[in-house]
Structure 1
């Protein structure tokens, strides 16, 4: 077992003290600081080509990844293990009056001693076993573990067979520009140095699965994350004659009732079930107040998957949207009849029928009706829209659909279903090939060695339950699944693009062994030091050794 607690603690505090909030200049400062730290190690002063400060590609911001590798001399081999972790954090606004010390663990903990705290937080603060601060858990502690191992093997290459690659990537907390750019560097090294990537080990945080859960977890594979989105049109009318039209917000509300928290949309696989979908935005698209109902509404949902493909999700949600549309129209008719009885006005049947299109179906219809004129108009529209830097990919996509709707000949109410953001692919590690079998065996052997040195049970699960950059080093989806993402995202090729071939070219099984704690993304973010500073580096190290020395 490596004696690493104090070294990893020092590195965790040092990394945390460099604020690196996503989409701020702090990301650049963090990368430069990390690059300087690695470059100054004796091994890398002798081998400067083996550490890289690499700018992101196709990014609106200037920021960098840091990559480095050590060649083992115990046994010369092309076998290579990737250690990956993100160096950005979420913001610090939630710390309010403690913002100035949010990234200084010692100062923050001293300040927290004077605060009124929840009982469990107080217990952890006074125990001497927990470290507080923005990023200590998510995930400077994990990066520190990887950095320790990189430094260790740079000093002891004679103990290492094969090669160890470190990747510190930016922008995990937003759009994953970091890892998607780093793939190109990994491919370059693969070609230049002949690296045979065996596995990737991520060090993102782990947490209790439920209140009272005492287990610690390591994960093989990861959950996938989609953002299915719905553009909903109604039939505009004056509010004084509300039954003469159809409010799209009424349909949107029924759609959210149908989808939100719906267990039927939980993708159980291998005995594990992700959280159900939940709405992240619901709004109409009226630019200002009027006494007319809205023309259109927009809603999108977080959607986790384990084994379903993006194509499967579209089919399931199209059915859900049709059901919601039918229920909304049924309720509309019942309320209209009731109102007519109360008011004495004559009742008339509504002329609308449920209509739901995927974006691909909608686009195909418009192209068939209008041909090149429509295609040229939309290309010009997207180019103009790109000039508006205030639009994120989600609103960009919505505006593209809204503009395309103007070309629709039949403007009776409809729902357009599409994806409006980055797809974080699901990854299954099941032993389907030799590398997965080797990785699973190494995990189990490492756990058998390390578990006796730690008092809580360490449990292996199939899917890391949070969004992470693990999603971008392998693909479990087939070409049809990925095509569904591309052809149903209105921003694809303009505001949003992912080179999925880069992922397929790397395509290594990935696991997560990271610091354990509570309240990631919250002001009481903290990590348990025994697991995070001792167990995590040793588990990771044992897996590295077993993978690189396997015959």
Structure 2
């Protein structure tokens, strides 16, 4: 067993002390610090070409990844394990009056002793085995674990029959520019140094799955995440004549009722099930107050997948949207009849029918009707939208759909379904090939070695349940699945683009062995030190040795 607790704790504190909130200058600062820190290792003083600080590409922010590798001298194996983790964190505003202490664990814990805390948090604070602070759990202690192993093998390359690559990436908490840019470096090193990537080990945090859950989880593969989005048009009317039009917010509300928390939209694979979708935004697109009903509404949902492809999700949600639209029209009709009965005013049957299109279907129709005139206009419109740097990918996509809708000849109410953000691909690790099975075996052997000396069950599951950069080192989707994303994202090629071929070229099986704790992204974020600083580095090390032996 490596006696690593104090070193990993020291590395964790050093990283946490650097405020590296995503999309701020702190991401550049922490990369520079880490690069300088690793450069001082004697191995890298002698081999400066074995590390790099590389800037992200196609990124509005200046930020960097830090990559380094150690070539083992025990044998001539080209097999290589990637150790990956992100340096950025979410913001610190939730710390309120304790904000100045958020990145200084000792100060924060001293201040928290004077606060009223939930019983479990107070117990952890008093125990001496929990570290509090922004990034201690998500996921600077994980990066520190990998940093320890990089340093160890830089001092003991003779123990390594193969190679390790250390990757500390930026921008995991927003758009994954970091890992997507790092793929270029990993591919170039593969060619230049003959690396045969055997596996990637991520070190993102793990937490209990439910109250009272004492398991410490290791994950093989990861959940996929989509952001299905809906542009909803109605029929505008004055609020004093409300039944002469159709409020798109009414349809949007019915759509959310149909999709939110719907167990039919949970995806099962290998006996594990995703949580159902939930809305992340619901709004109309009126720019200011008027007494007219809105022309359009916009709503999008988080959607996790284990085995479904992005194309499968479009098919399922198109049907859900049709059901919601029909329910909304039926409710409208019923309420109109009730109002007519109460008021004595005549009832007129509405002319609308449920209409649902994917963005690809609408675009194909418009190209057929308007040809190059439409294509040229939309290209120019997207370029003009790109000048607004405050417009995020999700609202950019909505504006593109809104503009395209203006070209539709039939303006009757409709729902347009599309994707408006990054697709984080699902990854399954099933042992379907020799490389996957080798990683599974190496992990199982490592757990069997460590478990007897650790009091809590170390349990392996198939899908990491949170969004992570694990999604971008392998690809389980076929071309058709990826095309469903690119063909239905209105910002594709302008505001948003992912070189999925880079992921397919790397295509390395990945697992997650990460620090254990609670309340990531919250004020009481904390990690258990015994597991995170001792078990995690040793488990990771055993997997490396089992893979490379």
TM-score (norm 1): 0.99
Structure 2 residue 393 is the aligned partner of structure 1 residue 393? yes
For residues 76 and 125 of structure 1, the distance between their equivalents in structure 2, rounded to whole angstroms, comes to: 48
Task: Tell me which residue corresponds to 1:495.
Answer: 495
| 1:69-218 alignment, distance < 5 Å | 69-218=69-218
2:19 aligns to what SS in structure 1?
coil
| 1:40-79 alignment, distance < 5 Å | 40-79=40-79
Deviation by residue 1:114-158 (Cα, 9 ceiling, x = unmatched): 111111110000000100010000000000000000000000000
Report the Cα offset of residue 77 of structure 1: 1.3
Deviation by residue 1:71-92 (Cα, 9 ceiling, x = unmatched): 0001121100000000000000
For residues 96 and 353 of structure 1, the distance between their equivalents in structure 2, rounded to whole angstroms, comes to: 50
Task: Tell me which residue corresponds to 1:470.
Answer: 470
Structure 2 residue 375 is the aligned partner of structure 1 residue 378? no
For residues 110 and 159 of structure 2, the distance between their equivalents in structure 1, rounded to whole angstroms, comes to: 41
1:470 aligns to what SS in structure 2?
helix
Report the Cα offset of residue 232 of structure 1: 0.1
Task: Tell me which residue corresponds to 1:505.
Answer: 505
1:75 aligns to what SS in structure 2?
coil
2:283 aligns to what SS in structure 1?
strand
Report the Cα offset of residue 422 of structure 1: 0.1
For residues 484 and 391 of structure 2, the distance between their equivalents in structure 1, rounded to whole angstroms, comes to: 23
For residues 129 and 216 of structure 2, the distance between their equivalents in structure 1, rounded to whole angstroms, comes to: 15
For residues 56 and 167 of structure 2, the distance between their equivalents in structure 1, rounded to whole angstroms, comes to: 13
For residues 534 and 113 of structure 2, the distance between their equivalents in structure 1, rounded to whole angstroms, comes to: 26
For residues 154 and 363 of structure 2, the distance between their equivalents in structure 1, rounded to whole angstroms, comes to: 54
Report the Cα offset of residue 265 of structure 1: 0.2
1:379 aligns to what SS in structure 2?
helix
For residues 236 and 508 of structure 1, the distance between their equivalents in structure 2, rounded to whole angstroms, comes to: 52
Structure 2 residue 335 is the aligned partner of structure 1 residue 341? no
Deviation by residue 1:474-498 (Cα, 9 ceiling, x = unmatched): 0000000000000000000000000
For residues 304 and 174 of structure 2, the distance between their equivalents in structure 1, rounded to whole angstroms, comes to: 17
Task: Tell me which residue corresponds to 1:19.
Answer: 19
Task: Tell me which residue corresponds to 1:267.
Answer: 267
For residues 240 and 271 of structure 1, the distance between their equivalents in structure 2, rounded to whole angstroms, comes to: 53
Report the Cα offset of residue 234 of structure 1: 0.1
For residues 76 and 296 of structure 1, the distance between their equivalents in structure 2, rounded to whole angstroms, comes to: 63
The answer to which of 102-111 and 202-211 deviates more is 102-111
For residues 15 and 161 of structure 2, the distance between their equivalents in structure 1, rounded to whole angstroms, comes to: 28
Report the Cα offset of residue 263 of structure 1: 0.3
2:99 aligns to what SS in structure 1?
helix
Report the Cα offset of residue 50 of structure 1: 0.4
Report the Cα offset of residue 68 of structure 1: 0.1
For residues 366 and 294 of structure 1, the distance between their equivalents in structure 2, rounded to whole angstroms, comes to: 24
Report the Cα offset of residue 346 of structure 1: 1.0
For residues 460 and 268 of structure 2, the distance between their equivalents in structure 1, rounded to whole angstroms, comes to: 17
Report the Cα offset of residue 548 of structure 1: 0.9
1:229 aligns to what SS in structure 2?
strand
2:481 aligns to what SS in structure 1?
helix
Structure 2 residue 334 is the aligned partner of structure 1 residue 330? no
Report the Cα offset of residue 453 of structure 1: 1.3
Deviation by residue 1:352-379 (Cα, 9 ceiling, x = unmatched): 0000000000100000000000000000
1:77 aligns to what SS in structure 2?
coil
For residues 17 and 346 of structure 1, the distance between their equivalents in structure 2, rounded to whole angstroms, comes to: 70
2:428 aligns to what SS in structure 1?
coil
For residues 442 and 141 of structure 2, the distance between their equivalents in structure 1, rounded to whole angstroms, comes to: 23
Task: Tell me which residue corresponds to 2:352.
Answer: 352
1:65 aligns to what SS in structure 2?
strand
1:19 aligns to what SS in structure 2?
coil
1:161 aligns to what SS in structure 2?
coil
For residues 453 and 469 of structure 1, the distance between their equivalents in structure 2, rounded to whole angstroms, comes to: 31
Gaps of 5+ in 2: none
Task: Tell me which residue corresponds to 1:409.
Answer: 409
Deviation by residue 1:289-321 (Cα, 9 ceiling, x = unmatched): 000000000000000000000000000000000
For residues 67 and 445 of structure 2, the distance between their equivalents in structure 1, rounded to whole angstroms, comes to: 28
Task: Tell me which residue corresponds to 1:32.
Answer: 32
Q: Output the aligned Cα RMSD.
A: 0.4
Deviation by residue 1:419-473 (Cα, 9 ceiling, x = unmatched): 0000000000000111100000001000000111110000000000000000000
How many correspondences in the alignment?
549
2:237 aligns to what SS in structure 1?
coil
TM-score (norm 2): 1.00
| 1:427-446 alignment, distance < 5 Å | 427-446=427-446
Task: Tell me which residue corresponds to 1:6.
Answer: 6
For residues 90 and 454 of structure 1, the distance between their equivalents in structure 2, rounded to whole angstroms, comes to: 31
For residues 164 and 37 of structure 1, the distance between their equivalents in structure 2, rounded to whole angstroms, comes to: 18
Task: Tell me which residue corresponds to 2:450.
Answer: 450
The ranges of structure 1 where at least 4 consecutive aligned residues each deviate by more than 6 angstroms after the TM superposition are: none
For residues 422 and 483 of structure 2, the distance between their equivalents in structure 1, rounded to whole angstroms, comes to: 13
